[in-house]
């Protein structure tokens, strides 16, 4: 990513799915961020996940009352944090990965169901060398659904 592209992302405030896929190695069915609404590099990000009945996990969680598994909501928060880290540090397209070292204080407040638009808000709480700390929240229409604190390390991908 060139410096000009980084400035453009700041000015428009958002990232489309192509930029998300350049920042993250995740692909279907585990890519859980559909769009970045806004981002302030090295500070915060607002992304969204459109929760569809077509998600594979709804086949078994739970038949008759489909809800998004909490662990996947935390994963969506973590992926949003990964995008913030990669974009803030200018690492998109370099192959660097964001490895999560800890998920702390995860709390679940309300179920996430098909048809919901999950708002993901993540803030940097610390950026020191290759280790980053984040605070994240997931909400629907302003109602808090889940929250968690994450610790991650930026690293090279494993050698084949």
Answer for the pair 36, 46: CB distance below 8 angstroms, yes or no. yes
Residue 106, domain member (yes or no): yes
Percent of the chain, pLDDT > 70? 92
What pLDDT is attached to residue 6? 44
Residue 126, domain member (yes or no): yes
pLDDT in tens, 3-22: 444 443 443 479 999 999 99
Q: What angle do CA 120, 124, 128 make, to 5 degrees?
A: 150
Average predicted confidence (pLDDT) for the chain: 91
Q: Of 51 and 6, which is predicted with more confidence?
A: 51
Q: Report residue 2's pLDDT band, with 50, 70 and 90 as the boundaries.
A: very low
Residue 49, domain member (yes or no): yes
Residue 71, domain member (yes or no): yes
What pLDDT is attached to residue 7? 43
If 0-12 CB within 10 Å is exposed, 13-18 middle and 19+ buried, where does residue 151 land?
Answer: middle
DSSP 8-state symbol, 110: S
Residue 83, domain member (yes or no): yes
Answer for the pair 30, 75: CB distance below 8 angstroms, yes or no. yes
Instruction: Count how many domains the chain has.
Output: 1
Q: What is the CATH number of the domain that holds 21?
A: 3.10.129.10
- Domain carrying residue 101: 3-155
pLDDT in tens, 70-92: 999 999 999 999 999 999 999 98
Q: What are phi and psi of 77, to 5 degrees?
A: -60, -45
Residue 74, domain member (yes or no): yes
Q: Three-state SS string across 66-90, please?
A: CCCCHHHHHHHHHHHHHHHHHHHCC
Asked about 61 being catalytic, the answer comes back as: yes
What pLDDT is attached to residue 98? 94
Residue 160, domain member (yes or no): no
Residue 119, domain member (yes or no): yes
pLDDT in tens, 27-40: 999 999 999 999 99
Catalytic residue among 26, 46, 61, 121: 61
């Amino acid at each position: 990513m060139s410096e000009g592209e980084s400035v453009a992302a700041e000015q428009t405030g958002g990232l489309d799915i192509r930029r998300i896929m350049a920042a993250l190695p995740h692909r279907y069915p585990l890519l859980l961020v559909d769009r970045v609404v806004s981002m302030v590099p090295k500070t915060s990000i607002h992304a969204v996940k459109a929760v569809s009945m077509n998600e594979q996990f709804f086949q078994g969680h739970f038949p008759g009352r489909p809800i998004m598994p909490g662990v996947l909501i935390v994963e969506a928060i973590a992926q949003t944090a990964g995008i913030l880290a990669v974009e803030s540090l200018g690492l998109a397209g370099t192959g660097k990965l964001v490895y999560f070292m800890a998920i702390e204080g995860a709390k679940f407040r309300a179920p996430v169901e098909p048809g919901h638009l999950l708002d993901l808000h993540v803030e940097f709480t610390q950026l020191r060398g290759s280790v980053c700390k984040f605070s994240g929240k997931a909400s629907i229409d302003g109602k808090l659904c889940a929250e968690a604190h994450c610790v991650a390390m930026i690293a090279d991908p494993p050698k084949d």
